Structure 1
Amino acid sequence: MQYRNGQRLPLEGGGALRLSVNPRARRLSIRIDARAGEAVAVAPSERRLTEVVAFARTKSGWIADRLAARVAGSPLEPGAVVSWLGRSVRLEAVGGAGAARLVETPDGPVIRSGGEGEAFSRRVENWFKRAAREFLVARTEVHLSTLGQKPVRVAIVDTRSRWGSCSPHNRSIRYSWRVIMAPPEVADYLAAHEVAHLVHADHSSAYWAVVHRLVGDHRPFRQWLRDHGAALHAVGR
């Protein structure tokens, strides 16, 4: 059977397997897209999709376990408790259609917003995106200055699984707004991670040396994202 990039196949035991061609991939691999609720089989070329499908079938038990363990969605709705730079923040509805705003109360920070249903959720998400832009732009500028790099364009996006990306050729960096829910040192690590790609586009030892120069031992921050990333991607779903 001939497979194609982007094709979805049913998995034994439920769920779907999405085929993905990435010319930069050095090997066949399987990853879990927790947000989409599916497994992704990655091959370096379309002609090797047959191999990666066969490989995925040998991992069917592991895939089923990982899909079953994925974090359930947590809507942005009144009464929900979310995280902002590692702090717990309660969401609270107010009358009218006003934009979401952060209020410090004796019981801790609260995000109050107008709107109902999807309108409420959208206003809260927009607040998080603004907070992410403010924090990440500031930290990006600090790391650029440390490395003697020129300014870059920064975009705040909502990606399915990646936390950020850097395009050195057009000097642009994209960040997932969701990292603003992580502790500040983790969000700062992400900024350093992407800025370092302006010096080295790969993940070589030289690249990681640049990251270390910016934030010190980066391993705890990477581990935090591995451990808690799925939960952050579930917020608002």
Structure 2
Amino acid sequence: MKRPEFIDGNGFIAEVIRTHRRKSADIRVEEGAVSVVVPVDTSLERIGELLADKRRWIKEKVALHQEMTPPGSKRYVSGESFSYLGRNYRLKVEKGPFAPVKLVQGRLVVSVPLGAEQPHMIRNALIRWYKRQAETKLNEKVARWAPQVGVTVPNMSIKTFKSRWGSCTAKGELQFNWQIMMAPNRMVDYVVVHELCHLLRHDHSPQFWGEVGRVLPDYEECREWLKRHGHVMVAL
């Protein structure tokens, strides 16, 4: 996976996504996080100019998201605990130029400048980190479980869902909620197997659950665990 690239927009952090599939820039604000998709050879200076031109619009979109996001219990300060694959890791906030979250010696370390936007920046940095982990780990798990389910490895993407952990589209593409990465490994396996089995049966019939049970005999325990604890994982 390519190393993530970021630009400090003075009040927000923009992730730079370089691609061969675009000939012009596209600035996005999704879940309060800013990204700019550009052709691969676009200079950082040019990207900075694009962000400066749209700074007012970006800040308005970020502020709107903050207003619409229900206040949670997290303050995004050093010492707070965040779950990853069922284990809790303490957050360590360092003051300085922005640096994305890294898991170092059992701590989630992030560097952000001081300012009123610091908690928002830390939250977005954590979401970006979870999404990167989800892309890597879920691709690995799909490749591992697909042969056991009896299907070819499908296309996969990471999404944000409010009330589901995964989805199988009519075209056979699997979509996974990045927040499942807070659950224990076995629960992640269950969600992957569940969606892979939808490639065999696109329903929740007894035959479908029979396919899930053939691969994961303890699937009912996993499903019940997610029902009981799922609300805690979405409270980032």
Letter in 2 for 1:231: V
The aligned counterpart of 1:232 is: 233
Distance 2:208 2:72 in 1: 35
The alpha-carbon deviation at position 76 of structure 1 amounts to 6.4
Q: In the alignment, residue 126 of structure 1 is paired with which amino acid?
A: R
Residue of structure 1 in register with 2:148 after alignment = 146
Counterpart secondary structure, 1:114: strand
Aligned to 2:210: 209
Q: Cα offset for 1:72?
A: 7.5
1:174 aligns with 2:175: yes
Q: What is the aligned length?
A: 160
Relative to structure 1, is the Cα distance of residues 185 and 72 closer, same or farther in structure 2, using a 3 angstrom cutoff? farther
What letter matches 1:150 in structure 2? T
- Report the equivalent of 2:163: 161
Aligned mates of 2:71, 2:223 — CA distance in 1: 22
Amino acid at match of 1:83: S
Q: What corresponds to 1:93 in structure 2?
A: 93
Query: Identity of paired residues, percent?
Result: 29
Q: Which amino acid letter does the alignment assign opposite residue 157 of structure 1?
A: K
Flag the 1:128–1:76 CA change in 2: closer, same or farther, 3 A: farther
Asked if 1:83 is matched to 2:83, the reply is: yes
- Alpha-carbon contact 1:76-1:124 (below 8 Å) kept: no
Whole-Å separation in 2 of the counterparts to 1:160 and 1:147:
27
The whole-number CA distance in structure 1 between the counterparts of 2:226 and 2:176 is 14
State the SS of the aligned residue for 2:210.
helix
Is 1:112 paired with 2:109?
A: yes
Equivalent residue runs for 1:10-159 within 5 Å? 73-75=72-74, 77-79=76-78, 80-94=80-94, 95-104=96-105, 109-115=106-112, 116-159=118-161
**In the TM superposition, what whole-angstrom CA distance separates every residue of 1:142-184 from its partner, at most 9, and x where no partner exists?**
12122332221111111111111101x3221111111110110
State the SS of the aligned residue for 1:193: helix
1:130 CA drift (Å): 1.0
Task: Tell me which amino acid in the other structure corresponds to 1:230.
Answer: H
Higher relative contact order (CA 8 A, sep 6+): 1
Q: Is there any run of 5+ residues in structure 2 with no aligned partner, and where?
A: 1-69, 113-117
Superposition TM-score, scaled by structure 1 size: 0.64
Deviates more, 1:180-189 or 1:212-221: 212-221
Partner of 1:100, secondary structure, is: strand
Q: Structure 1 stretches (4+) deviating beyond 3 angstroms? A: none
- Letter of the 1:112 counterpart: V
Structure 1 residue 112: deviation in Å? Answer: 0.4
3-state SS, counterpart of residue 234 of structure 2: helix
2:199 partner SS:
coil
